[in-house]
Each structure stands twice: as C-alpha cells, then as structure tokens.
Structure 1
C-alpha cells in the first residue's frame, strides 16, 4: 500500500480524494492546511477517513511516514513546499502547473535526481490510455500540417473576479490566469507529442488587474503551426485536433480528460475510447503507485524532462506577451 499525504484542502485535493477511492494501491493518511483552513481539513478528514491533520508543515515532514507528498496548494507556493519535502527525502506528486518558471522546475528536478526521489507532475492526459491512442496514431496521419487545441471553461470564480474579489486563480502575483491554469494542458499535449517549438507567441485578453482571463498561444514547428486556446472567462466544447496530409485525429472533449478520440485515415473514420475510469485522475494515481513500487526513476526523469520543456515554453509565451515574470 502506497501512503499519500495531501497538502491543501481546495477543489483539486477534493478531486484527488474522489479518485483515490478507486485506487486500492493508494491510501490517504494525512492532510495539511494552513491554520485558518483547519475546519475544511477536518471536514475532508471526516468524509474520507483520513487519520491525521497537520497545520505545521515542518511537523508533518518530521512525523509523517507517508510515501508521497501530494502538493495541491496554490500555484505560487508549489516550488517552496515541494522543495522542502524533497530536502526531507520525501517523494512528491506536484499538481500542475509544476512551478512558475522553468528555472524552478529544473532546480526541483535536479534535487530529486540527486536524492533518487520520485518527483512527478500530475498532468492527467499523459496517464490516460486515450493519450496512447493519439500518440500511436500520429505516424498514420502523414506529415502534420496543423494542430488546434481548445480548453475553455467558465471559471466558477470569474463572477467574483468581475465583482472585484481577486482570488488566487485570477491573481498575477499568485501565478493565476488562463495560461497557467487551463491552457497548460494544451501546451503539455503539444510538448509531449511534438517536442520543442521553433517559435512561439501568446496573445491574451486581460482583466482589470492585468491577469490573462483567456488567450491563444501560437507555436511554430518545422512543418506546421499549432494554436492553443485557453479561457476562464468563457466556455466552449474542448478538443485537440491534429491534421496531417493523409489523415486527421480529434480528441473529443476537454484535453485534461481526453474522453474519446476520433481517428480518420486509411479510408475510414472511427471513434476509440480506451479510458477505463470516469474520473480522469484514477489512471494517474494508479501509474504513480506503479512507478513508486518499481522505483522506476527512468519514467520519472522522462516526465521531468517534459515538465522542464513545458516550463520553458510558458516562459517564452509570457515573454512574448510582455507579461511580468513571477
């Protein structure tokens, strides 16, 4: 049994706990929150039968025997909390976005490598069977000529933002915004499938405090261009579309869930669905448990290399749009 300690009590941690009930290889044994959020932690602990609650992070690192520390806190503190866990010799699961800058991602990756620890970014698409469907289909499409991605979801916090309440997800100083929070999935798919772009540019719709409430990233590859739309101020059906000279494929649904894939080549068009669970995070946690139990550091390093690349792409996009660096 792989024991996991969760940092945070927000929406993503609640999602993680929902998924973990379908992962018999993992058990949630502790939860950490800041003192002012202890009541939320107590409710989660009672609901999910989590035996221990901490509001002192150093005490948790010293006393807790969990195998993984899951960082589900606000974006801007990912680096600090993960670094402290790694320094204590703890394996870490990092919620996306990994860290605000590529430099910080590299530092954490180097620290994990030096200590022989698992450090894994929780980007759900890479753990889904439907991602493998996409990856294996690419060679059948001929030379790729265009890629389009769209993940747009009206934020549950957007109305409060419009009313003047700036929560972390819409706070530039806390690494909020559409690029970090939602378009990051599109960028991960592009980097995972096609590698490093030759050029990139980001154009954003900005709110009253300068945050990008929505935007489009344009990435240029050798033979094609890719556009990635991410929005928190409006909604549309999600998709990921790859056009080749001899065929095409389309992820039908949000890129972070990849619920189905339509393939079209060789004279026929058909749909494939190989994901086995309704909740997008179940496959993710199952695979992480396997990596830990087999001490598959090669898989860890492959993931970290991709995380660094995505961090570099985000840095480049922010620079192109003259957005201040965190």
Structure 2
C-alpha cells in the first residue's frame, strides 16, 4: 500500500508512529493546509514521508499514491473520499464515515462501480478481543441487555462553555458526543447484533450540539443503552448480559483492551488477546491485506456494516432534533 494521508491533526500524529511498525505500508504523501505546512514538514522528516502537498488535486494526480487515508474533520470525509474515488484511488476513511447515510450510499456505489476499495477506519471491528467477544456470545445464553458507556470529559467543553466553539462541538463540522464517542458504541453493538428495530437518542443539547446523550437501541429480544458524554465523565466500561452469564468490557469500546467473562456460578475468566498495544494497528494490518489482495468481498461486508451504523446515526440525529453539517 502506497498511502497518501490527508491531514496533520491529532489522529494523524497518533497514527504515524504506529504505521511505521507496518513495513508494507509506504508513506507516499501527506496533505496539509497552507497554515499547517510547517507541521507537515516536521512530520515528513520525523516519519520519512515522501512528499508534502498543500493542493489535493496534485496529491491525487501522483501515481506514486494508490490509497488515500481521509483523516480530516468529520464534515470533510464525504467530499474528500469522493474526489479520491473519482481519481481512481482506494480510500480508507476515518469514522464516522459520513454525516448522513445518503452520502455513504453514494460513495459505496461509486467505489463498487469502479472496483475500488472503500472502507471505514473503525478500530474495534478488527481487534482480537472484539473477535473473541463475538465468538463467546453464545456462551451467555439468550442475550437480554447491553450497556456501553464511553464518557470522557473534554477540555474543549470548557472552551465551548466560554464561547469558543472548536470542531469537536461544532454542528456544522459534524461534532458532538454521538459522532465522536458514541459512534464507537454503535459500531460495537451493530457488529454483534446487526440493525436495531428502533432507535431513540436522548441528548443533552447545548447551542445546537449534543454534549452528551443516551442512545437506546431496541432489538426483538435485546435492549441496548449506549452512553456517550463529553461534558461529564464516569468509569468507562460496557456490559453484555445473557441468561447464562455476562461479559464485562474493561475500558472504552474503541480499544477493547480486555474483558471478563462471568458464568452463572460466578466463575470469571479474563481475556486480553490484542496482539498490538496500539488500537489502530490491527485495522491497518487488515487494510493493507485487503488492498494488496484486492479483497472486495471483505470490502462489501464492511461497507454493509458501515451502512447499518450510518442508518442508526441518521435515526439518532432525527430523534434528538439535531442538524449536522
């Protein structure tokens, strides 16, 4: 994979040291805004990135780049992914894939019509511990209740209250607790249970953005609560409860660091099977393989998963009376 990276923000700065541990991924380019070009050149030197671009069309015209990683603010995902697909590039797009399901459907049709890889970078779906949870679900008997809580007080919330609206709390940029934190909970649950029959989002809304909220997902036999908060905090964990036992996920749903399976008799078994310390490692190992093998079957499978997630997001946003973008 010869990768062109879009952006120089926090996620890219976290991504770069991790991706250097995957030798088969070549860092072919980095796109920066003119105001961040000095930072881009610093990153280029530190991580041996071939070329820095400040013009997206120039990056897309570079034959040395075969795959684009969209790591920009949420509101730009659709636009930049679409341009990359039109230029014949494969696309890895950060979560949330788009702001609305209709945008993802358009990207999917475009990618598949051109036989191009299009896939969402969503960490939990590729982690070994998450795969172990999926494998062990039948041991819990008939599932009844799932609760996911990813609450993390944001320093940007203090600025937001003081009147400074940064992207994390900007509805025009697709900010808010649903799209930042609760999106991981949605992926976690949808990856286990598929599409819910009913969605309701009970959001705490300040100045037209959800600073926290409770998402209720209804399934025929399972009731799910997903909590995401940027204006308050709590011990972060998730539980899956069934008639024959439970699973307790220690930590947030984006890292799935470890979990404990508890049987009816109280016997507890701990699992910590992730092969790499960095949460993004497993997904990019998978993406490199998918691109190298042109594994469109997996692409279609993961796109179907992402479409279900975006359908939940659409219903949640409408339920809370929010408007993003």
2:229 corresponds in structure 1 to 231
1:172 corresponds in structure 2 to: 171
How many aligned positions are there?
A: 324
Q: Deviations over 1:70-91 (max 9, x none)?
A: 0000000100000000001100
Mapped to 2, the partners of 1:213 and 1:146 lie a distance apart of: 25
**Cα drift, residue 28 of structure 1:** 1.4
| CA distance, structure 2, for counterparts of residue 16 and residue 154 of structure 1 | 23
- Contact residue 97 and residue 180 of structure 1 kept, 8 A: yes
Distance 1:236 1:191 in 2: 23
Deviation at 1:64, TM superposition (A): 4.5
Counterpart for residue 270 of structure 1: 269
Which 5+ residue runs of structure 2 have no aligned equivalent?
none
Counterpart in the other structure of 1:112 = 111
Q: What is the TM-score when the length of structure 2 is the normalising length? A: 0.97
* 2:242 paired residue number: 244
Is contact 1:237–1:254 with CA below 8 Å preserved after alignment?
no
SS of 2:22's partner is coil
Deviates more, 1:228-237 or 1:259-268: 259-268
Secondary structure of the residue aligned to 1:157 is helix
Structure 1 residue 261 displacement after superposition: 1.2
- Give the secondary-structure state (helix, strand or coil) at the position aligned to 2:240: strand
Q: Offset of 1:45 from its aligned partner? A: 1.1
Structure 1's unaligned 5+ residue stretches are: none
Mapping 1:3-18, distance limit 5 Å: 3-18=2-17
Q: For the residues of structure 2 that align with 1:138 and 1:200, how far apart are their CA atoms?
A: 23
* Residue deviations 1:197-252 (CA, integer Å, cap 9, x gap): 11111011122x22111111001110121000001112222222110001111111
Deviation at 1:106, TM superposition (A): 0.7
Distance 1:261 1:14 in 2: 28
SS of 1:113's equivalent? helix
Whole-angstrom distance in 1 between the partners of 2:277 and 2:62: 35
After superposing on structure 2, the runs of 4+ consecutive aligned residues of structure 1 that deviate more than 6 Å are none
Q: What secondary structure is seen at the aligned counterpart in 1 of 2:215?
A: strand
Return the TM-score normalized by structure 1.
Answer: 0.97
Report SS of the residue matched to 2:155. Answer: coil
